[in-house]
A = this chain, B = another copy of it.
Amino acid sequence: MSNDKQDKQFVTEITPQGEDFSRWYIDVIKKAELMDYSPVRGCIVFRPDGYEIWEHIQQDLDRRFKETGHRNAYFPLFIPESFFEKEKEHIEGFNPELPWVTEAGGDKLEERLAIRPTSETMFGHMYSKWIQSYRDLPVLINQWANVVRWEKRTLPFLRTSEFLWQEGHTAHETETEAREETMRMLEVYRDFVESFLAIPVITGQKSPSEKFAGARDTYSIEAMMKDGRAVQAGTSHFMGTNFAEAFEIQYLSRENTQEYAHTTSWGVSTRLIGALIMVHGDDRGLALPPKVAPKQVMIIPIGPPKTRDMVVGRADELFAELKKAGVRVGIDDRADVRPGWKFNEYEMRGIPVRLEIGPRDMENGVCVLVSRITGEKKQVALENIVTEVQNMLEQVQQEMYDRALAFREENMHEVDTLDEMKAIMEEKRGFFIAGWDGTIESEAKVKEETGATIRNIPFQLDVQKEKCLVTGEPAKHTVVFARAY
């Protein structure tokens, strides 16, 4: 295949975002080898580059959980059917999505076992055994696990039948402490998603119809994708005593009375990988923030065959130096592949910084760093390579956040009426800020006519709307509407 042909094939393999965003997404994640479809409906294979993104997410979040006093544990995959019947809202929420094990070891089971869609009930059951007295509280446990929700319509990473997540479950003496925990973990998520994934989010409370099945209050962080849709990037729930009552999590209080514990739960999942791609990617492919990128820097030696050995030798030294400094660095020194092809390839794979070095650079004691996100080229001194690379990685991380934030600001629309919202929607993507009278009916009408749901009731907004966009009645809340993944 000629080089021209290579390049052309390359470009045509990714559908432009503007043409078909969903196809762009699938093209990119397949081509960048983040995932593959499996023979089981709705279940994907996380390939090494996709899974490593999850590993970096896990590592950083896990540290944050431990710093806030949580420990990890592991609870069984199977949930007895009877457990779901203890919390009524919970079973109604999850029943349609459960896969059931009915046979095992050659025998029919007496009681069907669900594959966990969440471990709420199993934690509840065990907590009722472990918690006796106020001295046992708080209990602060997190679990990293696979869960299954049999989804009718699936989309890799964003909505798959099996997915990976973490679920924190805590129990407390008082409502105040449990509410503080709920907010603490929401804030852990916000800070993590913004600083580590470079995704700006809107924090707020879910409307009653969108809250977790069995929760008293649900809070979320919501991110805007490049097609203007929302992804709920993390949730934190205050359960009140709902689960404690259902599972009899009671403790002897300081006043010697039996009380129900106040519980919380909170989780993020591999859908964060989907959000990451849809927030930062472009028509050239993936773009990964340095903190989460499997490879942060790719070194590509350039120049004619006669200087090749010399340049590759120096490139290997740079590789070793950067690796030693903790930079996740790769090198592509293949002689039979053109640099131009490599540039495209690693841009498509979203590697934040490319390091080019050729014979003339070597003479001058320099090399060139290229930012994936801005295309900026910077000549830097080889003797400062570690610092220069680290600076550029920081800069790219910040620029990616800034760009995502600017994009979101551009695509926030303030509306007064449903008609106005529908009119804007015909031309523009994005989130809609509007007043809401707090009724299920108004919320439902917006959804019916636009497909948009209340993402959350933001804690902080520059504007407060006075009237409901549907009824014109006084607004109870100013909310964010959007179509969501």
Q: Contact string, A99-134, partner B, CB cutoff 8 A, digits 1/0? A: 111111110000011010000001001100110000
Task: Quote the shortest CB–CB distance from A136 to chain B (angstroms).
Answer: 11
B126 touches A36 (CB 8 A): yes
Cα of A51 to Cα of B75 in the assembled complex, Å? 10
The reply on A76 being an interface residue by CB < 8 A is yes
Please, what's the 1-or-0 string for A34-53, where 1 marks a CB less than 8 Å from any CB in chain B? Answer: 00101110011111101110
With an 8 Å Cβ cutoff, the count of chain A residues facing the other chain is 54
User: Which positions 64-97 of chain A face chain B at CB distance < 8 Å?
Assistant: 71-80, 83, 96-97
Complex alpha-carbon distance, A480 and B341, angstroms: 57
Counting CB contacts under 8 A, is A98 at the interface? Answer: yes
Q: Cβ of A13 < 8 Å from any Cβ of B?
A: no
Chain B residues near A61 (CB-CB < 8 A):
none
Q: Contacts A36-B126, A36-B129, A38-B122 given: A76-B43 contact, CB under 8 Å?
A: yes
Among candidates B47, B101, B105, residue contacting A97 with C-beta atoms closer than 8 Å: B105
A79 contacts across to B, CB distance below 8 A: 40
A104 to B55, CA, bound (A): 29
The reply to whether B98 and A104 form a contact with Cβ atoms under 8 Å apart is: yes
In the bound complex, residues from chain B placing their C-beta under 8 Å from that of A77 are: 43, 115, 146, 148, 162
A275 CB to nearest chain B CB (Å) = 18
A236 to B78, CA, bound (A): 29
Please tell me which one of the listed residues B48, B115, B152 contacts residue A101 in the complex, with CB atoms under 8 A apart. B115
With both beta carbons as reference points, the residue of chain B lying nearest to A77 in the complex is identified as: B162
Determine the distance from Cα of A100 to Cα of B75 in the docked complex, in whole angstroms.
20
Interface residue? A362 (CB, 8 A): no
Q: Shortest Cβ distance from A77 into chain B, in angstroms?
A: 5
Is A260's CB within 8 Å of the partner chain B? Answer: no
Across the interface, name the chain B residue whose C-beta is closest to A126.
Answer: B45
Task: List, in ascending order, chain B residues with CB within 8 A of A189's CB.
Answer: none
Copies in the complex: 2
- A75 contacts B150, CB within 8 Å? no
How distant is A119 from chain B, measured CB to nearest CB, in Å? Answer: 10
- A449–B371 Cα distance when bound, in Å, is 71
How distant is the Cα of A407 from the Cα of B220 in the complex, in angstroms? 56
Complex formed: what's the CA distance from A102 to B109 in Å? 12
CA distance A104 to B43 in the complex (A): 13
In the bound assembly, the distance between CA atoms of A96 and B105 in angstroms comes to: 5
Which residues of the partner chain B approach A129 to less than 8 Å between Cβ atoms? 36
Which residue on B lies nearest to A39, using beta carbons? B80
Q: How far, in angstroms, from A104 to B117 measured CA to CA in the complex?
A: 12
Whether A405 sits at the interface, judged by CB under 8 Å, is no
Q: Residues 147-165 of chain A: 1 if any B CB is under 8 Å from the residue's CB, otherwise 0?
A: 0101110000000001010
Residue A311 at the B interface, CB < 8 A? Answer: no
Q: Tell me whether A141 is interfacial, beta carbon within 8 Å.
A: yes
Closest to A49 in B: B71
Given contacts A39-B125, A43-B76, A104-B150, 5 further A-B contacts (CB under 8 A): A36-B129, A40-B79, A43-B78, A99-B105, A100-B104
A-B contact pairs, 29 of them (CB 8 A): A38-B76, A38-B122, A38-B126, A39-B80, A43-B77, A43-B78, A44-B76, A45-B73, A45-B74, A45-B126, A46-B73, A46-B75, A48-B72, A48-B73, A48-B141, A51-B72, A52-B71, A77-B146, A77-B148, A96-B105, A97-B105, A98-B105, A99-B101, A100-B103, A101-B101, A101-B102, A101-B115, A104-B150, A115-B115
Top 5 nearest A-B pairs (CB, nearest first) are: A99-B104, A105-B150, A48-B71, A43-B76, A46-B74
Residues of A within 8 A of B (CB): 36, 38-40, 43-48, 50-52, 54-55, 71-80, 83, 96-106, 112-113, 115, 122, 125-126, 129-130, 141, 145-146, 148, 150-152, 162, 164
